[in-house]
């Protein structure tokens, strides 16, 4: 199978903005360590496609298996959430102050946390990869 055919499969491409620096990180979660950065979303995606081609090429050259794209699990999108009354009150007040529903507020809060963790994990992996590359 050709590299272009492999990358045409439905791999997830994730874009994560870094609010502090104004840059963007892009990654393909199914391909460990396949990550890039860019000044704009378009640049980050373009760099990601180049990184993905290199990732697949190196994997094929080394006889490594290419992970399959993750199939979409059947999540309903509904979660029953229990929390302390004080947390519920604070979240409801914050949502009201933001002019959004409590549901929207909670979805945004969870998304922000997950995005921050993904960036931290991928940045650590990229730093580790760079340090290993420099050591050789």
* pLDDT (tens digit per residue) in 15-50: 998 888 889 999 999 999 999 999 999 999 999 999
Give every CB contact of residue 67 below 8 A, 6+ residues apart in sequence: 30, 31
Domain ranges of the chain: 1-74, 76-136
The pLDDT of residue 73 is 61
Q: In what order do the strands lie in the sheet with 35-38?
A: 14-18, 23-27, 35-38
The pLDDT of residue 135 is 63
pTM above 0.85, yes or no: no
Q: How far apart are CA 118 and CA 124, in angstroms?
A: 10
CATH of 1-74, one of 3.40.50.980, 3.10.20.740, 3.30.950.10, 3.30.160.250: 3.30.160.250
Task: Determine the 3-state secondary structure of 105 from DSSP.
Answer: helix
């Amino acid at each position: 199978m050709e590299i272009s055919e492999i990358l045409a499969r439905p791999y997830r491409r994730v874009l994560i903005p870094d609010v502090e620096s104004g840059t963007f990180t892009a990654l393909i979660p199914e391909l460990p360590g396949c990550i890039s950065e860019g000044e704009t979303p378009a640049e980050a995606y373009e760099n990601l496609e180049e990184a993905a081609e290199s990732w697949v090429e190196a994997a094929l050259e080394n006889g490594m298996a290419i992970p399959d794209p993750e199939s979409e699990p059947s999540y309903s999108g509904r979660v029953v959430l229990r929390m302390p009354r004080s947390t519920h009150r604070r979240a409801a007040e914050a949502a009201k102050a933001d002019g959004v529903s409590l549901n929207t507020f909670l979805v945004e809060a969870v998304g922000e946390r997950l995005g921050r963790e993904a960036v931290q994990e991928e940045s650590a992996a990229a730093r580790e990869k760079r340090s290993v590359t420099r050591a050789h």
